[in-house]
Structure 1
Amino acid sequence: VISLAQEPEGPWRIVDDCGGAFTMGLIGGGVFQAIKGFRNAPMGINYRLRGSMNAVRIRAPQIGGSFAVWGGLFSTIDCGLVRIRGKEDPWNSITSGALTGAVLASRSGPLAMAGSALMGGVLLALIEGVGILLTRYTAQQFQNPSPFGEDPRTRCI
């Protein structure tokens, strides 16, 4: 029995992340392009709605595809690092973000690669840091209280 709460393993994780990234890019890009197309269309509600839908139809799949490439490459590098290092920790994600940024900027030269690698690593470090903080906060929130109440008179100051 496969649980939906578990992440798929192996190549299916890469496919899953690629599809999720495409969906995020398609929806987010669709909203952004709808607003942009509406604002840039000539006056008149019919022209604006038509311009909005046309912009979504043309640009949203391209944005989704760009997100899918990023997600697929990130997931491939992450799975490779898990396999090589033999453990799954935040360093894999941070390194994957940096390497993904570098690979995707490789056509723009070494300086752009270094900048994109730095941005990718910092962004993923922030995401991982927030995730760790949230996990610690929620773990403290749901700790079981002591079954016996403490007597305030015997407490040390």
Structure 2
Amino acid sequence: MSTPFPERDPCPDRILDDLGGAFAMGAVGGSVFHFAKGTYNSPNGARLAGGMQALRMNAPRIGGAFAVWGGLFSVFNCTAVFVRQKEDPWNSVIAGAATHGSLNLRRGLGAAARSAVFGGCLLALIEGVGIVLNNVVDESARPQPPVDDPNLAAATATATGGGGFQASNDFQ
């Protein structure tokens, strides 16, 4: 089985890439969200300034939270790859469970266990949808045999026992 991400960097380098990508995604998404929220909640004369202030205050915090999640996920994913010696979707499920569980350890072992189960199920769902979509795309990308191929017609006639629809020339 080929790796799901053949173009990805090897594991130690992947951690920094994922950490930076998660920070950027959180910062951009947080910027858009908090700018819109700050603009909406500001008084009429200061909507733009209110949106910019909310953006400056909250976007780095959201980006940092995303970076923590992405960095932990990447570390646990690389650890699973190292321990299991294979790259497959189960590594992401294990990493998702470990990430969610470790982020909730401060709330106690029960909360961490529940969060780990939720994280594992969430990543299993995401990986399952990815596998199904890859199979659908692979099926649609596979070249279809041409319809007027004489070899296909002969193979079809042989497979159906020679009987098939025979056209007649009654309409000449």
* TM-score, with length taken from structure 2: 0.81
Matching of residue 79 in structure 1 with residue 81 in structure 2: no
Distance 1:30 1:112 in 2: 30
Alpha-carbon RMSD:
1.9
Aligned: 1:27 with 2:24: no
Question: What 5-or-longer segments of structure 2 have no aligned partner?
Answer: 1-5, 165-172
Matched residue, 1:88: 87
Q: Using the alignment, how far apart are the partners of 1:48 and 1:122 within structure 2?
A: 41
Instruction: Determine the C-alpha separation between the residues in 2 that align with 1:32 and 1:74.
Output: 24
- Residue identity opposite 2:76 in structure 1: I
Determine what percentage of the aligned residue pairs are the same residue: 49
More displaced stretch, 16-25 vs 117-126: 117-126
Unaligned runs of 5+ in 1: none
Count of paired positions: 151
Q: Which amino acid aligns with 1:24?
A: M
Name the larger-Rg structure.
2
1:1-157 alignment, distance < 5 Å: 6-44=7-45, 47-146=46-145, 148=149, 150-151=152-153, 154=157, 156=160
Give SS of 1:87's match.
coil
Deviations 1:81-137 (A, max 9, x none): 101100011111001001100000100112221222122112111110111011101
Give the 4+ runs in structure 1 shifted more than 6 A: none
CA separation in 2, counterparts of 1:41 and 1:116? 36
